[in-house]
Amino acid sequence: MILQALKEYYDRKAADPASGIAPLGWEWKEIPFLFVITETGDFVQIEDTREIVGKKKRAKFFLVPQSVGRTRNPVAFTLWDKAEYAFPGVACGTDANKKHSLFLENLDPYGELPSVLAVKRYLSGIFSAEHLKTDERWIEYIQSGTVATFKIAGHEQPVPCEESFVRAYNAHMSATSRVADGICLVTGQPSIIARTHHKIVGVAGTDKNRGSLVSFNWKAAESFGKEQSYNSPIGQEAEFAYTTALNTLLGKDSKQKMQVGDATTVFWSSRKSHLEDEFTDIFGGPPKDNPDCDIAAVNQLLTSVKTGAFSPDDGTTRFYVLGLSPNSARIAVRFWHEGTVAEMETRFADWFENLRIDHSQKDKEHLSLWRLLCSIAPLGKSENVPPNLAGAVMRSILEGTAYPATLLSSAIVRIKAERDVTYPRAKLIKAFINHNLNPERKLTVSLDKDNTNVGYRLGRLFAVLERIQCEAAKPTKLNATIRDRFYASASATPAAVFGNLMRLAGHHLSKLDADKKGLRIWLEDLIGEILYRDKDHNGVQKFPAHLSLGEQGMFAIGYYHQRQDFFAGRKTKADGTNDATPTTGSADVVQTELSL
């Protein structure tokens, strides 16, 4: 199904003259150097097509005859190639002469064209490497191993792009094509089966940034006498279509690709759709020149889902997402999913809705998936993200299934290691709990005082005890708070920690000055509001011995929510009381609890 969808994408782009996708037998190639010669074959100069883009040089792309895969045997390209093939006396080794001879043989079918005749005349007698040894561009061309082609002085286009050559090349390809020798698995029609498939370029991590999607290169994969790609018979036209489509999606300037962990992800739709244009803005990081484009894209997505404002075709237009990763000399499919645009938008909206949580003004409302995953990786480095986690999360989002359990465990482990419930980590934990665990009361965007979950309330309590400690120490700034020393044990084994923390809180409250009486009463009432449910029949405060992994996630969100509530800018009256008065508990009750 992947190859069929890619072929459909190629056919769609090929039907649009403005798309610029390469026609059958051709490819867009970045060619840095053009050897400019006269119509009589005399050398003029080496033209550099590169321009400064950002901090790098980018060569110009030209539509040239498609390359073929090179193995141990030398194979030359038509009218463009590396120096060892294109020019005599450059290559070394036993195949040196053969390489250039193959290059010249490829020009024989077009020898009647004046431009090709000029190239052959230049290479066969006029060319001299000795005359070019001081030319900086020639030296760079030789040393860099890049490619070059030829251009006739006064002509606008290089020889491979001239209209006369294009017609001649296409006619030659049609005249030399073989008779159909099999049934294509992609089209179901008789076709000439491709023996080898062109390389896919642009998948991060592959050898030299190139790899094969369909490839058989060991005897164990061969059966019934079928060698190489005859094991999966795909016609030459279908092979060209799917490789060209995929290479177009993976191109340097493509806006339809993004990196998800170690998986290079591409996406497209069966017809032009707005989601095809906005997918990167929704899940990828925003570009530097438009840092808020992701926020606008996600907001538009959420609005369209809530209002049902899909276009008429969104319910029938297919949308495809393909994740590719390197795997031992070939490309592995990490994930593949298809659905309608409307289905995809609904699932994406669920993901972002589950992620929503209170944050400070300096934090962005929506974060890219990659930034979220980096927040739970050691040292916050992308290379430390578990290789399978990113793909598993993306697959869950696309299919609407449960998020991987490692998402929650990795977030909790990182919080305990760094003793910090950051905004990205809180988003991930909230999304996991609401989507996977389906608690009786789903976690809200901001503080939920009515949430009775024991982990959530203990997280809130821990934040209040930390606030009490900090208030008692003012104006001195503490080097370490109870979060730095006790967060891990408090979130996992509350009974072992909270008794001592409560006694310390009573001591800290007694240190508050008389002018902070209103603040002390408010903090005492807040503790009472949180703990009024947690006494046994004898009135003794009880804390659970252990919290499960899910409850530890609730603990982190309770702690985060309570801290965000503190930072929300509560207004304090002149007499020290607060506008937001707790609804449950009293100072007398809290004093009794603190003395336990």
- 428 and 295 within one domain: yes
- 170 and 123 within one domain: yes
**pLDDT number for residue 115:** 96
Instruction: For the chain, report the end-to-end CA distance as a whole number of angstroms.
Output: 67
Residue 579 above 80 pLDDT?
Answer: no
- Alpha carbon distances (Å) from 282 to 173, 277, 291, 300, 354: 43, 10, 12, 10, 15
CA dist 18 and 28 (Å) reads 15
Residues 6+ apart with CB under 8 A from 100: 84, 85, 86, 87, 88, 90, 91, 123
Exposed e or buried b for every residue in 242-274, given b needs 16+ CB within 10 A? bbbbbbbbbbeeeebbbbbbbbbbbbbbbeebb
Picking from 175, 206, 241, the residue at the C-terminal end of a domain is 175
Residue 255 above 50 pLDDT?
Answer: yes
Residue 596 above 60 pLDDT?
Answer: no
Work out the average pLDDT over 246-256.
89
**pLDDT number for residue 540:** 55
- 54 and 168 within one domain: yes
Dump pLDDT digits (tens) for 523-547.
Answer: 888 888 888 765 555 555 688 899 9
Q: Which two tokens stand for residue 555?
A: 């603990």
Dump pLDDT digits (tens) for 425-449.
Answer: 999 999 999 999 877 788 999 999 9
Residue 455 above 70 pLDDT?
Answer: yes
- 132 and 52 within one domain: yes
Residue 442 located in a structural domain? no
Q: Which two tokens stand for residue 156?
A: 């606008």
Residue 184 located in a structural domain? no
**pLDDT number for residue 592:** 34
* Cβ atoms of 456 and 558 closer than 8 Å: yes
Q: Which two tokens stand for residue 16?
A: 């649009």
- 284 and 425 within one domain: yes
Strands (E), 262-399: 263-269, 318-327, 330-340
CA dist 183 and 177 (Å) reads 16
Q: Which two tokens stand for residue 589?
A: 């009750």
Work out the average pLDDT over 26-49.
94
CA dist 161 and 58 (Å) reads 20
Work out the average pLDDT over 567-587.
45
Percent of the chain exceeding pLDDT 70 equals 87
* Cβ atoms of 276 and 269 closer than 8 Å: yes
Could you give phi then psi for residue 432, rounded to 5 degrees?
-65, -45
| Nearest of 471, 286, 259, 561 to residue 385 by alpha carbon | 259
- 93 and 60 within one domain: yes
Poorest-pLDDT segment among 146-150, 182-186, 228-232, 516-520: 228-232
- Looking up tokens 């009256």, which residue turns up? 573
Number of independent structural domains in the chain: 3
CA dist 553 and 434 (Å) reads 11
- 472 and 377 within one domain: no
Give the structural domain span for 300. Answer: 272-315+340-437
**pLDDT number for residue 284:** 63
Report the relative pairing of strands 257-260 and 210-211 from DSSP bridges.
Answer: unpaired
Dump pLDDT digits (tens) for 397-423.
Answer: 888 899 999 999 999 999 999 999 999
Residue 539 located in a structural domain? yes
- 476 and 348 within one domain: no
Residue 196 located in a structural domain? no
Q: Which two tokens stand for residue 35?
A: 């050897």
CA dist 313 and 307 (Å) reads 16
Picking from 145, 160, 175, the residue at the C-terminal end of a domain is 175
**pLDDT number for residue 440:** 76
DSSP 231: G
Triad 171, 176, 179: Cα angle to 5°? 125
Could you give phi then psi for residue 251, rounded to 5 degrees?
-60, 160
CA dist 464 and 551 (Å) reads 18
- 432 and 393 within one domain: yes
Residue 335 located in a structural domain? no
Residue 92 above 80 pLDDT?
Answer: no
25 φ/ψ sector (left φ>0, alpha ψ -120 to 50, else beta): left
**Cα dihedral 568→573→579→584 (10° resolution):** 110
**pLDDT number for residue 87:** 92
**pLDDT number for residue 575:** 41
**pLDDT number for residue 133:** 85
Q: Output the pTM of the full model.
A: 0.77
- 460 and 391 within one domain: no
- 555 and 410 within one domain: no
**pLDDT number for residue 561:** 95
- 155 and 83 within one domain: yes
Picking from 175, 201, 216, the residue at the C-terminal end of a domain is 175
**pLDDT number for residue 261:** 73
Residue 401 located in a structural domain? yes
Residue with the larger pLDDT of the pair 128 and 152 = 152
Q: How confident is the model at residue 313 (pLDDT cuts 50, 70, 90)?
A: low
**pLDDT number for residue 311:** 56
Dump pLDDT digits (tens) for 257-306.
Answer: 888 777 888 999 888 888 887 777 777 655 544 444 545 555 555 555 44
| Nearest of 174, 241, 253, 190 to residue 214 by alpha carbon | 241
Residue 17 above 70 pLDDT?
Answer: yes
Residue with the larger pLDDT of the pair 329 and 231 = 231
Q: Which two tokens stand for residue 187?
A: 């089209």
DSSP 451: -
| Nearest of 123, 130, 199 to residue 159 by alpha carbon | 123
Sheet holding 33-37, edge to edge: 43-48, 33-37, 148-152, 80-81
